[in-house]
């Protein structure tokens, strides 16, 4: 499933809204994961490294958001979840 990417000249808020509302994305991912994917795609389009921007904390929403960001970088769902949980637990 292709993840939406920002269009040339598209502003951040417009892209995030379009990405979050994408019918395939809403069917495939929970809201927190979808948000992470969309923000991750935006950051990647600007050359910002995702791993350096993971939320620290062990709240469910933080783990889900981080999982989404990692999926946007190309991690598999399972690896992204494990990596997000690893960062959330402060094991690094």
The CA distance from 27 to 47, in Å, is 28
What's the pLDDT score for residue 53?
64
Q: What is the pLDDT along the chain (92 residues), one digit of tens a residue?
A: 589 999 999 999 999 999 999 999 999 999 999 998 998 899 888 887 766 666 666 677 788 888 888 888 888 999 988 888 887 766 55
What's the pLDDT score for residue 92?
55
What's the pLDDT score for residue 85?
84
Only one residue has tokens 């994408």, namely: 22
Cβ neighbours of residue 43 under 8 Å, at least 6 residues apart?
Answer: 49, 50, 53, 69
**And the tokens for 39?**
């923000």
The CA distance from 75 to 37, in Å, is 11
What's the pLDDT score for residue 47?
82
Which pTM was predicted?
0.77
């Amino acid at each position: 499933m292709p993840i939406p990417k920002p269009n040339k000249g598209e502003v951040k808020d417009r892209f995030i809204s379009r990405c979050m509302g994408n019918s395939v994305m809403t069917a495939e991912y929970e809201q927190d994961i979808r948000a992470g994917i969309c923000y991750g795609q935006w950051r990647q389009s600007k050359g910002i490294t995702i791993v350096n921007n993971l939320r620290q904390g062990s709240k469910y929403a933080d783990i889900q958001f981080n999982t989404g960001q990692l999926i946007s970088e190309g991690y598999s769902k399972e690896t992204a979840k494990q990596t997000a949980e690893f960062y959330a637990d402060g094991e690094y």
